[in-house]
């Protein structure tokens, strides 16, 4: 096998650092091990961030996520560790990691962790849904 799991996260220069834009990634194949039973835990990770100077490189992210496959970790701990590592590597303006773990023992667990660069404030949300509806009416 040519690729191996790795904790190294690579980045590349943000092609538009002057603009706040939303990067959304869905990672449906996250696995780690329950630290109590050793059984596998499965989750879909949702990564949302606004880059500053750097973006995370996708192959390194894939290898990084893969590196947890044989590690025992509580859901809360692994979610915060991944967010900390990604935020340290990319130094984003804003980053949110949502981990949606599959049911175990009748319980779904969702963990949401956020990072915000000191002093950064989001731009006001622009709602175009009403505008689109209005533009289709004639008076």
Question: Taking the domains of the chain in order of start, what are their residue ranges?
Answer: 11-135
Q: Kindly indicate the confidence band of residue 138, based on its pLDDT and cuts at 50, 70 and 90.
A: low
* Residue 34 falls in the annotated catalytic set: yes
pLDDT digits (tens, 9 = 90+) for 12-35: 999 999 999 999 999 999 999 999
Q: What does the DSSP assignment read for 58-113?
A: HHHHHHHHHTTTT-B--HHHHHHHHHHHHHHHH--SEEEEEEEEEEETTEEEEEEE
Indicate whether 61 pLDDT > 70. yes
The pTM (predicted TM-score) of the whole model is 0.88
pLDDT digits (tens, 9 = 90+) for 66-101: 999 999 999 999 999 999 999 999 999 999 999 999
List 2's β-bridge partners, or say none: none
Residue from 13, 20, 32, 41 carrying the catalytic annotation? 41
Indicate whether 134 pLDDT > 80. no
CATH number of 11-135: 3.30.1130.10
* Residue 20 falls in the annotated catalytic set: no
Burial 110-133 (b: 16+ CB within 10 A, else e): ebebebeeeeeeeeeeeeeeeeee
Q: Kindly indicate the confidence band of residue 137, based on its pLDDT and cuts at 50, 70 and 90.
A: low
Residue from 20, 34, 48, 85 carrying the catalytic annotation? 34
- Taking alpha carbons only, the member of 33, 94, 103 closest to residue 68 is 33
């Amino acid at each position: 096998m040519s690729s191996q799991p790795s904790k190294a996260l690579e980045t590349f220069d943000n092609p538009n650092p002057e603009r706040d834009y939303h990067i959304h990634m869905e990672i449906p194949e996250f696995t780690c091990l329950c630290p109590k039973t050793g059984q596998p835990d499965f989750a879909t990770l949702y990564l949302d961030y606004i880059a500053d100077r750097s973006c995370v490189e996708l192959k390194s992210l894939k290898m990084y996520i893969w590196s947890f496959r044989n590690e025992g970790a509580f859901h809360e701990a692994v979610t915060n560790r991944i967010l900390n590592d990604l935020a340290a590597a990319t130094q984003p303006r804003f980053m949110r990691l949502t981990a949606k773990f599959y049911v175990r023992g009748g319980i779904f667990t969702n963990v949401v962790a956020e990072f915000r660069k000191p002093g950064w404030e989001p731009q006001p949300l622009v709602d175009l849904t009403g505008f689109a509806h209005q533009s289709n009416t004639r008076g």
